[in-house]
């Protein structure tokens, strides 16, 4: 954690938002889609429908037209409108602050709820996406027996100090996005390479991965 903190002192979500509703929408749209693509789509979406009430009133087709360039736009438009209707009607227009309430929203699962709780409300929640899952198991933060996102989450939460959990989520995402990539990890640019289980095994086999300088954005 100390090495990640030194390498990425300002680690935070790369999604663009200005309030809790926009964060929730952006996280929902980011499922199986890049943050860059989401950030390209959301300015026009938020300008047209800036609140749960406006999104609920707009309807599925209007929302679909604004997000059609991202992955699974039809189902995401349906979920966004249904979620907006529920927030406007049941929660007084405010994004709920408990896991149970968040996961009651259409299209909101454990990972999305964890991101919102951690980023919007500062809760000690570890959201496990593909980057967190891969990096945690690869470098050795999570045991290899942890074969599901929930198992990885429980392992990380058990060993990481509570106050570092939200920040660790972002460290692992950014590390997986720009350094510890899925197909070609940039081991020579890795701040934890001496501690990494994957690196150690590759060295033992005499098969250290090829490396190059990572692109940082």
Question: In the annotation, is 66 catalytic?
Answer: no
Contact indicator for 102, 123 with CB cutoff of 8 Å: no
The whole-angstrom separation of Cα 159 and Cα 142 is 9
Residue carrying the six token digits 């150690």: 200
Angle at 150 between CA 145 and CA 153, to 5 degrees: 85
Cβ atoms of 103 and 113 within 8 Å: the answer is: yes
Residue 187 and residue 214: Cα distance in Å, rounded?
10
Q: Among residues 35, 66, 76, 129, which one is catalytic?
A: 129
Tell me whether residue 111 is one of the annotated catalytic residues.
Answer: yes
Please identify which of the residues 111, 167, 207, 212 carries the catalytic annotation.
111
* Nearest CA-CA partner of 181 in 149, 143, 212: 212
What backbone torsions phi and psi does residue 201 show, to the nearest 5 degrees?
A: -65, -40
Instruction: Give CA–CA dist 168/41, Å, rounded.
Output: 27
| Active centre residues (catalytic) | 111, 129
């Amino acid at each position: 954690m100390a090495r990640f903190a030194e390498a990425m002192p300002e680690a935070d979500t790369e999604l663009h938002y200005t309030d809790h509703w926009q964060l929730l929408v952006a996280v929902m749209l980011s499922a199986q889609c890049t943050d860059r693509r989401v950030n390209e789509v959301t300015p026009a979406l938020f300008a047209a429908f800036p609140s749960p009430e406006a999104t609920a009133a707009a309807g599925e087709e209007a929302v679909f037209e604004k997000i059609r360039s991202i992955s699974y736009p039809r189902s995401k438009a349906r979920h966004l409108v249904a979620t907006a209707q529920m927030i406007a009607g049941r929660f007084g227009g405010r994004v709920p602050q408990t896991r149970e309430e968040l996961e009651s929203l259409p299209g909101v699962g454990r990972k999305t709820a964890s991101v919102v709780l951690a980023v919007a409300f500062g809760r000690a929640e570890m959201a496990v996406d593909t980057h967190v899952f891969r990096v945690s198991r690869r470098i050795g933060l999570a045991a290899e027996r942890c074969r599901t996102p929930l198992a990885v989450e429980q392992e990380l939460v058990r060993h990481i100090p509570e106050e570092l959990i939200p920040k660790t989520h972002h460290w692992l995402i950014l590390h997986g996005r720009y350094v510890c990539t899925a197909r070609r990890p940039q081991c020579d640019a890795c701040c934890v390479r001496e501690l990494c289980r994957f690196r150690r095994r590759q060295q033992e086999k005499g098969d250290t991965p090829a490396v190059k300088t990572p692109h940082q954005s």
